[in-house]
Structure 1
Amino acid sequence: MLEQIVTWFTGMQRRMPAPPVVRPSQPAAGESRPLARRFDPLSALWNRGLPAEVQIAHRVIWPLFLLPIVFFNQLVAPHPVWVVLGIALIVIYSVALIWVRGQARAIAVHRKRSVGVFVAGDSLRQEFELSNSSPLPVLWAEWIDHSTLPGYSAGRVVGCGANSSYRWHMVAECRQRGVYQLGPHELRLADPLALFQLTIHYNEVDVIVIYPRVAHLPIVALPHGETSGAARRRRPLTGPLPSASVRDYRATDSLRYVHWPLTAHRGSLMVKELEIEPSGGVWIVLDLNAAAHRTVDEVSTLEFSIVVAASLAAELLTGGDSRAVGLLTVSGHEPLGQATSGAASTGVIGAPHPALEIHEQAVLVPPQAGPAQIWRILAALAPVQPTDVPLAELLRTSRSALGRRGTVVVVTPQIRAAAGEAPWTAELLHLESAGLAGSAVLIAAPDDPADAGAALRTALLYQDVPVQLLRAGMSLPSALTFRRTRKVVRSTPTGGAVTYEVEEEVS
């Protein structure tokens, strides 16, 4: 019998070198248990009968290797010291193992986050509760957070008494628009001597969408007859209005609009420019070319362009003209799968559109009217990232998708080149010749001079393309407001706590 025991411990010593501290990670798809549990015989012994998300790992194993020496010394030179030492090692490790296994099924963490719509700049609140139903106290427990929300970390070290619970909360500012995940999480604790580590994996993940901020913009000039809101005067329901102005003849103009008296007076062909009722949709084309955007002192022309695109869509959709507004851009973000499907239905999102013969991910929201379209466009703008597709290529490959008799509003930071040196201006003029009305919103960086883009604006205005210049970082008041209900916990003078709901209007 003694020979069998010595042989078993000797074989175990050969098979089991002292391992480092185990750092369990989230199991891959298709794995029911961590790899350490598969290939470690002792780990399989510690974790027998436990759920797959619970793992017990030994942190200090080398004292167990003294047992063969103790048994050998007891056989060679019997003495009570060896017996006491052997029993002490077995008892200490047995008690430590019973401690962590007793808490493996009795400890749970519940989390609850504030619900509602989150816009960049809002606060996110999460409440956590560690409950312990075992008769043993939790001396320390490390809560590890693997969320991807920037600036958010709910990790901390807490403790809990026997048959009790402990609560804490985390409040973080939603600094950056995007699609993020809250979770997964891990709870790590150990026995009093830290001989064994208990890790409980919480693989539940909540997807949270941070929408871009919507602000009040200065009056954005649209083509003649396409202005919306209070800036537009009363018009008849159908049909053209008398000519509002005249301009030089273009090759694509019809001869029936030639103003013959003025042509004879000036000696060159002049055509009448009629103001017609709005028809078709308004396409907002957002330039996300990484080479065109800059960041100066934490002010990004990319983020400001997204705010401008979202704000322009909101103003056109909530105006009195009931215009249909769509979005077209090309983003460099990875496919989100079902990440945004629960937030809003956004038409063609996450898959290339047939009209876009490019190798990037097209984000296309077909024009629709109504307030619901605002959230579709915001959901489409939330995850977008810079790409290497130039604006000119986007306009050229999207001609069939944009259709005819609509309006194209280009939002771009490309203001340094003159019109003849900017390829996207030629593509915009080509769309105008095909029946689309064009407009441009230029985004200047904070350090650009006051006359930045003057040559480009002059050239576009000469081609009767309305231009508006906005400077990134300028103060824009919030425009999108909604009401939501949140819970507030207040302490009482006697040391208790009172929870009540508060309804507030946020922007």
Structure 2
Amino acid sequence: MSRSGGAGILALCVLAAAWLLGSTALVILGFGLGLATLAASFWARLVTNGLTVERRPVEGPPVEGDPLLLEAQLDGRRRLASRVEWRDRLGTLGEADALVGPDGRARIRLESVPRGRHRLGPGRLRVTDPLGLTRVEILVDRESTVTVRPRVPQLDTLFTETGAWGEGGRRALVRRPSGLEPHGVREYQEGEPLRAVHWPTSARRGELMVRELEDAPRDSIAVVLDVEAGAVAGVRGDSSLDDSIRAAAGIVRTHALRSRRALLVIGAPQPGVHSVRSAGRDWDEAVDALAAVEPAAATPLRDLVAARGPLGSVPELVVITARPEVVADALVARTAVGRSSALVAVDAPTYAGRPPAGPSAVMLRLDAAGVALAVLRHGTPLEEALGGLRARAVG
């Protein structure tokens, strides 16, 4: 029973006692309580029809592990209330509440939010009248989604840049981007450096001509992320899949910053393919897709990396998986025909508290074939695992 309902019953009881006892004071008190109850009911209707709340968008893309600040703006007859409380739900993280300030704003701060797409809502406003007799709940039924991105490691070097071992024990470096290449010639403009002058053309035409440069086309690289549920270990936010996602994001972003075309392939039952040509909109779409990745069953990893599969002709291929035995044949075959292959092997048992596994026969075979290798283990910084020498990964 609400407080206003209790006050109404009390008013009736006081009036009944006043009639039995013939007390004028009790009559006045009973009528006063009755008027207060009617005023509270009128106030509730007035406030319910006169208050609106609007969620404010989150400023900037939130990143896992960082605090998440949610804000709402309350408009309407808020000054008629003595206390306004905003309560909202963020997916499986539960509910949180905050008081609405004099400016009509309420802010909810959630600490250390994990990666993912979290559904926001439904929310509620709890409004209390100045007499403390009535509390009204207003439903905020508009739901929205907050995307919390994975934390992306900053990689100065990649394990694939150490190259593969060639014949005679010599290291054959992976070909690096060549930067700017000549596109044509045009007339020299005052102030341009002389080193840009194309002297053969200048001598032939009798005037200074300079080379026009443009970004040279980069060989594409595909980064395949395995999301097989049966190979995931650890708790959400600190699992082998979470580290795999961060590794994929770091590798793709590093290539995007170097103006290399990269394909991010999320190996779900319905694979998601995202082409990243720069660190702009393409990258934002790719990292948002990584934020939403969940474990899945029956993933087509073997078919994705097969020699005649959709990625068979990609010049460079990086596979991130806890199941190296599934892709070993395809990676060895690629290396045999001169296509660059790399494997990020996830040591999933370490995410369940088990000791690191020693070098397996599959890893030794890949190493002998010249496949660039890196190993992700729980507690090892991704920058170290993805930037270290290939020889350390096997040893």
TM-score normalized by the length of structure 2: 0.66
Residue 467 of structure 1 corresponds to 373
Question: Which residue of the other structure, out of 98, 109, 126, is the alignment partner of 2:42?
Answer: 98
Distance 1:124 1:443, change over 3 A: same
**Superposition deviation, residue 368 in structure 1:** 4.6
Let me know the Cα RMSD of the aligned residues: 4.5
2:91 maps to which residue? 148
- Choose which of 285, 290, 293 in structure 1 pairs with 2:232: 293
Q: Deviations over 1:466-493 (max 9, x none)?
A: 2222323323469xxxxxxxxxxxxxxx
Distance of 2:307 and 2:148 partners within structure 1: 28
Matches within 5 A, 1:335-484: 360-365=269-274, 367-372=275-280, 373-390=282-299, 392-395=301-304, 399-414=308-323, 422-429=325-332, 437-444=340-347, 445=350, 447=353, 449=355, 452-476=358-382
Work out whether residues 184 and 202 of structure 1, in 8 Å CA contact, stay in contact via their aligned partners in 2. yes
> Would the alpha carbon gap of residues 392 and 78 (structure 1) be closer, same or farther in structure 2, given more than 3 Å must change?
closer
**Alpha-carbon deviations, 1:271-324, whole Å to 9, x = none?**
xxxxxx9975211111111211211797321111101001011112222xx422
Please state how far the C-alpha of 1:401 moved relative to its aligned partner: 2.5
SS in 2 for 1:141: strand
Q: Is the 8 A contact 1:226 1:278 kept in 2?
A: no
| Secondary structure class of the residue paired with 2:114 | coil
CA change 1:468–1:193 in 2 (3 A) is same
Count of residues in correspondence between the two structures: 334
For 2:138 and 2:63, the matched residues in 1 are separated by 33
Aligned-residue offset at 1:65: 8.2
Task: Kindly state the Cα deviation for residue 460 of structure 1 after the two structures are TM-superposed.
Answer: 0.9
* Residue 209 (structure 1) aligned to one of 143, 147, 162: 147
Q: 1:368 to 1:300 in 2, by over 3 A?
A: closer
| 2:242 aligned partner | 303
User: Are 2:64 and 1:120 aligned?
Assistant: yes
Kindly tell me: are residues 449 and 60 of structure 1, through their superposed partners in 2, closer, same or farther at Cα, counting changes over 3 Å?
same
SS at match of 1:385: coil
Deviations 1:45-77 (A, max 9, x none): xxxxxxxxxxxxx67658878999999x99xx9
Is it true that 1:169 corresponds to 2:107 in the alignment?
Answer: yes
Q: Distance in 1 between matches of 2:256 and 2:175?
A: 10
Equivalent of 1:328, from 265, 274, 278? 265
The separation in 1 between residues aligned to 2:121 and 2:323, in whole angstroms, is 39
Q: CA deviation at 1:398?
A: 9.7
Q: Which runs of 5+ in 1 are unaligned?
A: 1-20, 22-57, 238-276, 332-359, 416-421, 479-507
Distance (Å, rounded) in 2 between the aligned partners of 1:78 and 1:126: 57
CA 1:400–1:313 in 2, change beyond 3 Å: closer, same or farther?
Answer: same
Note if contact 1:392-1:427 (Cα within 8 Å) is conserved in structure 2: no
Q: Report the Cα offset of residue 443 of structure 1.
A: 2.0
1:175-229 alpha-carbon deviations (Å, 9 max, x no partner): 3222234444211224467665422233344433222222134532266678365
Q: Where does 1:54-93 land on structure 2 (aligned, <5 Å)?
A: 61=5, 84=27, 90-93=34-37
**Distance (whole Å) between structure 2 residues aligned to residue 462 and residue 396 of structure 1:** 20
1:227 matched residue in structure 2: 174
Q: Secondary structure at the match of 1:474?
A: coil
* Structure 2 counterpart SS, 1:180: strand
Secondary structure at 2:271 match in 1: strand
Asked whether the 8 Å contact 2:331–2:371 carries over to 1, the reply is: no
